[in-house]
Amino acid sequence: TANNIQGTISFKDVRFSYIKGEEILKGISFNVEKGQTVAIVGATGAGKSTIINLINRFYEIDSGEISIDNIPVQDYKIASLRQKVAVVLQDVFLFSDSILNNITLNNENISLEEVKIAAKQIGIHDFIMSLPNNYHYNVKERGGMLSSGQRQLIAFLRAYVSKPSILILDEATSSVDAHSEQMIQYATDEITKNRTSIVIAHRLATIKKADMIIVMDKGRIVEKGNHTEL
């Protein structure tokens, strides 16, 4: 079951189309070992986000196999799969509710104290404390005062407190201010540390730190290697 997830990911000749006859992924194969961070890079429309849509089964593949710990993703219950694989998307959605509830998703087993410790670990506690009402600040207050970078930081913390075996991060392309950028970089390092991670990377710093870089073009992997090899 998903409780046994150790955090390996394997794609074997995965083919996928959103619309019949228009193949978007044309035979994708790669492995991510436990604890490794893999960066996926490539032009817009190459199929990077599509890859991550398939891991948590937002769509079903046409052929091939995607496995987590050598078990095909179809063999997991969707809920337990998604509990173990946390995804931070490019455009973060926050509910009109407190920062705390946006982080815990109203899971009462996660205490405020625990959230604070996690926020300190990923370097965003001071930012939250600078907001009115701190962790009780309603994110939609004053017409949504949080920037896209700040919303992404909240989503990082949401993913982090859920203690996923696998983290998937689709880095935002929109530019953020220097301070948010620094916080995002630090949080990304902390959240991917010792955790199997796939990052669709736009930041050079993220790409440089990855154990493996996958270069995609038009639905295919065209290169694999680390930063010094490519």
Q: Among Mg ion, ligand ATP, none, what does residue 44 contact (CB within 5–8 Å per kind)?
A: ligand ATP
Q: Among Mg ion, ligand ATP, none, what does residue 59 contact (CB within 5–8 Å per kind)?
A: none
Chain positions contacting Mg ion, by CB under 5 A = 48-49
Q: How far is the CB of 24 from ligand ATP (least distance, A)?
A: 4
Comparing CB distances to Mg ion, the nearer of 119 and 201 is 201
Alpha carbon 203 to its chain's center: 14
**Which span (46-54, 98-106, 147-155, 158-166) binds ligand ATP, by CB under 6 A?**
46-54
Q: Does 3 bind ligand ATP (CB under 6 A)?
A: no
Comparing CB distances to Mg ion, the nearer of 48 and 195 is 48
Q: Among Mg ion, ligand ATP, none, what does residue 47 contact (CB within 5–8 Å per kind)?
A: ligand ATP
Instruction: Round the CA-based radius of gyration of the chain to a whole number and report it.
Output: 18
Q: Among ligand ATP, Mg ion, none, what does residue 83 contact (CB within 5–8 Å per kind)?
A: none
Beta bridge partners of 72: 67
The amino acid at 169: L
Cβ atoms of 148 and 174 within 8 Å: the answer is yes
Give dist(CA 212, CA 38) in Å, integer. Answer: 5
- Per-residue x/- track, 201-220, ligand ATP (CB under 6 A): --------------------
Contacts of residue 187, defined as CB under 8 A and 6 or more positions apart, other chains included, come to 122, 123, 124, 153, 156, 157
Lookup: tokens for 77: 């219950």
Comparing CB distances to ligand ATP, the nearer of 42 and 123 is 42
Question: Within 50-89, which residues bind ligand ATP (CB under 6 A)?
Answer: 50
Give dist(CA 227, CA 230) in Å, integer. Answer: 5
Q: How far is the CB of 25 from Mg ion (least distance, A)?
A: 13
Per CB under 6 A, the list member of 9, 32, 46, 88 interacting with ligand ATP is 46
**Which span (8-16, 37-45, 72-80, 113-121) binds ligand ATP, by CB under 6 A?**
37-45
Q: Which positions touch ligand ATP (CB under 6 A)?
A: 18-19, 24, 42, 44-50
